[in-house]
Amino acid sequence: MIEEFANNVDAGLSQSEKTLPSKYFYDKKGDALFVQIMKMPEYYLTRCEMEIFSTQTLALIESFQADKNVYFELIELGAGDGSKTRKLLAALSDEGYQFDYMPVDISQNALDQLEKSLQQALPHVSVIPKHGDYFEMLGSVKDSHHPKIVLFLGSNIGNMSDAIASDFLYQLGANLSKNDKLLLGTDLIKPADIVLPAYNDESGITRSFNINLLHRMNAELGANFDPGGFAHAPEYDENEGIAKSYLLSGCDQSVDINAIGKTYHFHAGEKIHTEISRKYNDEIVCGLLQQTDFSIAAKFTDKNHYFADYLLNR
Ligand code: AVI
């Protein structure tokens, strides 16, 4: 685990344009910071998707075309705190559907908390948590022959490049059967004055989330980053439709990383690219699906058309 972290960090920091993989945001502190980000007034994504789940719950369920007499698996990739899914779980259970809810997350901590809170809130819903990487989980999903509805919400797909996202959807489709469904949450392209503040909230929570990566390398890889020596610097290009987060070096500095046995140099103003958050429209989503077995069966948006959940049919 640490070796993989060290290898990924070395690979990213050895490039001429330095990068760090965003998946390392999510340690215990990062999970907690992300939960806080989702509550920030500027971070509209969660509220918009929550609106879709709250106001269109039955329409969403209808789009699944599930049979009340046939058991199915509801698999959520990257479940986090499951706050949106709760509405859906309650409605599915009230409507008499037979299903297991299988949240998949790379964070054991997030899964433990989710399982505990669901046991209290929805004791009738059967929850089978699965710990692991989405990609690792794709293979294990294939083993059962029950119908599947996969949820991939929150525009989590936006943290992948288009090439990786398209490959991911291809692989997901290859591990599902005909008529299985995927509900894909996507943040829609919109002006910078709405998107950029979502990645640069006034309270500085997103800044702490980004800087936490440095704290994590210090704690786990024996690095000596000075977290005060880097600034959180998000960018968003409306034409491209991609928000990008950077850590900006405030001065010329060198950092030793013991677990790698190397020293890395950062010049004043040099950026480490830490995350992309892609924004979508129908054309981009269709482009991602081109090589896959999925087609768009329905689209649900919030009243402002900021966010869309696409129901894809395999
Ligand atoms: C998890 N993911 C969809 C978030 C996003 O909007 O890209 C992660 C995030 N990064 C900064 N703020 C939120």
pLDDT digits (tens, 9 = 90+) for 34-49: 999 999 999 999 999 9
Is the Cβ atom of 199 under 6 angstroms away from ligand 1? Answer: yes
Whose Cα sits closest to atom 3 in ligand 1? 156
pLDDT of amino acid 84: 86
Confidence of residue 134 (pLDDT cuts 50, 70, 90): confident
Q: How far apart are CA 264 and CA 255, in angstroms?
A: 5
Rounded to the nearest angstrom, the gap between the alpha carbon of residue 76 and the centroid of all alpha carbons in its chain is 11
In the predicted model, is pLDDT for residue 142 greater than 90?
no
Per-residue pLDDT of 237-280, as tens digits, reads 999 999 999 999 999 999 999 999 999 999 999 999 999 999 99
- Average pLDDT for residues 229-235, to the nearest whole number? 98
* CA 229 – ligand 1 centroid, Å: 23
Is the Cβ atom of 175 under 6 angstroms away from ligand 1? Answer: no
- Average pLDDT for residues 72-77, to the nearest whole number? 95
Distances (CA, A) of 110 to 21, 29, 121, 264: 19, 11, 16, 33
pLDDT of amino acid 64: 98
Specify the ligand 1 atom closest to the Cα of 159. 7
In the predicted model, is pLDDT for residue 81 greater than 90?
no
Q: Do strands 307-313 and 295-301 pair parallel, antiparallel, or not at all (unpaired)? A: antiparallel
Whose Cα sits closest to atom 5 in ligand 1? 277
Lowest mean pLDDT among 81-90, 154-163, 200-209: 81-90
Ligand 1 pocket test, candidate residues 22, 48, 199, most atoms within 8 A of CB:
199
* CA 288 – ligand 1 centroid, Å: 20
Cβ burial of 262 (10 Å; 0-12, 13-18, 19+) is middle
Average pLDDT, the chain: 95
Burial 126-152 (b: 16+ CB within 10 A, else e): ebebbeeebeebbeebeeeeebbbbbb
Q: How far apart are CA 209 and CA 29, in angstroms?
A: 8
Is the Cβ atom of 154 under 6 angstroms away from ligand 1? Answer: yes
Amino acid, single-letter form, for residue 267: H
Is the Cβ atom of 156 under 6 angstroms away from ligand 1? Answer: yes
- Average pLDDT for residues 97-118, to the nearest whole number? 90
pLDDT of amino acid 230: 98
pLDDT of amino acid 140: 75
Helices (H) and strands (E) counted in the chain, each on its own, are: 11, 13
Whose Cα sits closest to atom 11 in ligand 1? 199
In the predicted model, is pLDDT for residue 101 greater than 80?
yes
* CA 277 – ligand 1 centroid, Å: 6
Q: How far apart are CA 167 and CA 182, in angstroms?
A: 15
Would residue 76 be called left, alpha or beta, if left means φ above 0 and alpha means ψ between -120 and 50 degrees? beta
* Cross-strand bridge partners of residue 100: 73, 126
Q: How far apart are CA 173 and CA 165, in angstroms?
A: 12
Specify the ligand 1 atom closest to the Cα of 78. 1
Distances (CA, A) of 77 to 131, 200, 254, 275: 10, 26, 38, 19
Q: Report the complex ipTM.
A: 0.99
Is the Cβ atom of 155 under 6 angstroms away from ligand 1? Answer: yes
* 211 CB-near residues (< 8 Å, 6+ apart): 227, 230, 232, 247
Q: What proportion of the chain, given as a percentage, has pLDDT over 70?
A: 99
Angle, CA of 71, 77 and 78, to the nearest 5°: 140
